[in-house]
Amino acid sequence: MKTNHVKAKLKRGEPSIGTWLTLPDSMSARLMARAGFDWLTVELEHTPITFETAAQDFAIIAATGPAPLVRIPWNSAETIKRVLDTGAWGIVVPMVNSRAEAEAVVDAALYAPQGNRSIGGYSHAANFDTDAATYYAKANEQILVVVMIEHIRGVERADEILSVPGIDAVFIGPNDLHNSMGLKPVFDSDDKRFVDAVAHVLKTAKANGIAAGIHVVDAPAAQRRMAEGFQFIAVASEAGMMLAKAGEITKALNLGAGKPALAKY
Ligand code: 3PY
Ligand code: MG
């Protein structure tokens, strides 16, 4: 069975850098899987990507080299089961604000005795290049479980959330976190409330022996977050990179400001 290199790196205390896939066509996975990122997260939370396209993405990504991860639309056992059974190597769960919610994530993601994941499916074993029996025996050691703290309520309860056994990493959503404090949703700011919240989550993750992660917009921001101790870092998205480059070209050629559709990443 293949080793989930992202989980292994995070456990060793090393950084692991990836990006988000947001376009609803597997050509995006095919092209981005060769770009050099450690992992690619298929975005089901804020896009029209279907389970079927996501399953194709997971297979393409796993066969090419990066780890196929997925951000699910909401903390739901049903969705966690379907994305893992269709071959994701790990889940990113949005808006986890309490210990009970974090426990529900682990319960859905891991097989007994650590959790209560139901047995079934076929693509999961194929994406780890193994047979079903080996997958069922070893999946708990390889599946990456990432909970998002992206609300001030989650920040306030960071210790009770991040001490739940079975969680590998916490991932901060800066836009939602700003928004939850009545601030403009942005990837970064020097507002003291945001800075203190991020520092608190980072410190609490370290105290609980798990990796801290955050979404950033470019390479300098990723380097800065790594220097602070963040390990699981998402840089923008494939659509964000495409539009950033397009904007650069239209600006250089004086073609006008353009109308970028992408508000978030
Ligand atoms: C946020 O910024 O809220 C995110 O969810 C980023 O992934
Ligand atoms: Mg968010």
Q: 3-state class of 114 per DSSP?
A: coil
Residue 262 domain flag: no
Mean pLDDT by 10 residues, the chain (265 residues): 98 98 98 98 98 98 98 98 98 98 98 98 97 98 99 98 98 98 97 98 98 98 98 97 91 80 59
Burial of 219 (0-12, 13-18, 19+ CB in 10 A): exposed
For 125-138, how does the pLDDT look when each residue is reduced to its tens digit (9 = 90+)? 999 999 999 999 99
**Residue 20 Cα: closest atom of ligand 1:** 7
**Residue 71 Cα: closest atom of ligand 1:** 7
Report the number of distinct structural domains present in the chain: 1
Q: Do the beta carbons of residue 153 and residue 132 sit within 8 Å?
A: no
Q: Do the beta carbons of residue 127 and residue 58 sit within 8 Å?
A: yes
Nearest to 215 by CA among 240, 248, 246: 240
Question: 176 CB less than 6 Å from ligand 1?
Answer: yes
d(CA 106, CA 146): 10
Residue 148 domain flag: yes
Pocket mutation for ligand 1, best pick of 150, 151, 184 (most atoms within 8 Å of C-beta): 150
Nearest to 93 by CA among 162, 183, 159: 162
Residue 244 domain flag: no
Residue nearest to atom 4 of ligand 1 (CA): 173
Residue 144 domain flag: yes
Residue 243 domain flag: no
**Residue 174 Cα: closest atom of ligand 1:** 2
Phi-psi bin for 120: left (phi > 0), alpha (psi -120 to 50), beta?
A: left
For 134-159, how does the pLDDT look when each residue is reduced to its tens digit (9 = 90+)? 999 999 999 999 999 999 999 999 99
Residue 83 domain flag: yes
* Ligand lying nearest the CA atom of residue 171: 1
Nearest to 231 by CA among 151, 172, 178, 157: 172
Residue 72 domain flag: yes
Domain that holds residue 50: 5-237
Question: 154 CB less than 6 Å from ligand 1?
Answer: no
d(CA 72, CA 43): 7
* Ligand lying nearest the CA atom of residue 179: 1
- Put simply, whether the predicted model's pTM sits higher than 0.85 gets the answer yes
Kindly report the CATH number assigned to the domain that includes residue 140.
3.20.20.60
